[in-house]
Amino acid sequence: MIDAKIGRIKRNSERKTVRRGVAEGRLMGGNLGCMLKLAGTRYFPDFTDSILFVEAYEITPQGCDSAFNQLKQIGVFGKIRGVIVGHVYSLQVSEKKMPQMEDILLKVTKEYNFPILKMNDFGHNCPNRSCRSEPKQDLTLITKNSKSWRDV
């Protein structure tokens, strides 16, 4: 990444618990559309025991539903331990009230119980940060209620 910085990610807004729970795993993910371009190829990652993070720039509610149902059909939601939803530019800046990515994810994954956290600290709304991901380096995600959470 050009102009990326290493360091703490600055909090851009309140973080919201979408589904309560505790999860620990390797942080994996990225832009939802780009990630799904790898589906069915040898480059698509194994998300077993990971915490999935997703964001998007231009996506519709229908596009979110389609993408999440694709992840469901290829078995990703049965493997992960939690999800963090980042900034979704097209949905969050729209003047028209639209279903948000995290709400669509909650609906598509209603039969699962992994925690879901919404934060605007990554995506197309803030400076890039590089994140080194090592196999033994885990993130703990604890979602308690809409007013409190922490990551370790």
Confidence of residue 147 (pLDDT cuts 50, 70, 90): very low
Residues 85-142: tens digit of each pLDDT: 998 988 888 888 999 999 999 999 999 999 999 988 777 666 555 555 555 555 566 6
* 10 in any annotated domain: no
Alpha-carbon distance 60 to 71, whole Å?
17
Q: Averaged over 17-21, what is the pLDDT?
A: 93
Domain of residue 129, CATH code: 3.50.30.60
* 85 in any annotated domain: yes
* 20 in any annotated domain: no
Alpha-carbon distance 79 to 102, whole Å?
19
* 14 in any annotated domain: no
Percentage of the chain beyond pLDDT 70 is: 72
Q: Tell me what pLDDT residue 142 has.
A: 64
* Number of structural domains the chain divides into: 1
* 65 in any annotated domain: yes
Least confident of 33-42, 45-54, 130-139: 130-139
Q: Tell me what pLDDT residue 53 has.
A: 92
* 81 in any annotated domain: yes
Which amino acid appears at position 83 of this protein? Answer: V
Domain enclosing residue 111, as ranges: 28-144
Instruction: Give the residue carrying structure tokens 């803030």.
Output: 126
* 56 in any annotated domain: yes
* 16 in any annotated domain: no
Q: Tell me what pLDDT residue 133 has.
A: 55
